Amino acid sequence: MDITNIDNIDINYKNTDQYLEKIKISKESLQFILAEFKKIFVLSRMYPENEEYQQQFSNIINNLKTILSNLFSLSNDVQINIDDISKKMIELNILISKERLKNKKLKIGLGIIENKNNASTEMINDYKEIYDMRYLRNWALGLSTLFCIATISIVYKKQGV
């Protein structure tokens, strides 16, 4: 995996319209086939000795299997595309991390003191830490609220006998 430069990362993704069109076509044909299946299923069960109905029933079953295999193939294509995008995003994340390190080194080289930056560059450098602190604070507030409600309900249930 050569991720030394952003130019080495190919960002050509398949168009979602292609997938949506295939799904639309499969859905329309599936509705038609299921409507026919309802009719032929009843006829093939009512007249099991009639070869024509049995043949039509097996043809519809084969058509359903074909559509299901096409949908399975489409699902696999989408999953492969998702995996490729995930790999490329990981590569881009690695490149961003490298560029941040390079940026910090260059700032230190210029003599910029790290803690004396303006608010926007500070947020760029500490966005994960700020998010984690707020996330933990929100969970702590939620859990402490539930604990207080439970404690109050227990105390007042015992008194209100």
Which pLDDT score, from 0 to 100, does residue 129 have?
A: 79
| Structure confidence by residue, pLDDT tens digits, 77-123 | 999 988 988 888 898 899 999 999 998 888 777 765 555 555 666 66
Average pLDDT, the chain: 83
Percent of the chain at pLDDT exceeding 70: 81
* Phi, psi (deg, nearest 5) at residue 5: -145, 145
DSSP codes, 70-113: HHHHHHHHHHHHHHHHHHHHHHHHHHHHHHHHHHHHHHHHHT--
Give the SS3 label for residue 118.
coil
Sign, Cα dihedral of 32, 38, 41, 46: negative
Q: Which of 5-9, 55-59, 138-142 is predicted with the least confidence, judged by mean pLDDT?
A: 5-9
Q: Is 131 exposed, middle or buried (CB count within 10 Å of its CB: 0-12, 13-18, 19+)?
A: exposed
Which pLDDT score, from 0 to 100, does residue 121 have?
A: 61
Structure confidence at residue 155 as a pLDDT band (50, 70, 90): confident
Is residue 74 within 8 Å of 26, Cβ to Cβ?
A: yes
DSSP state of 4: S
**Is the pTM above the cut of 0.85?**
no
| Mean pLDDT in residue range 36-64 | 92
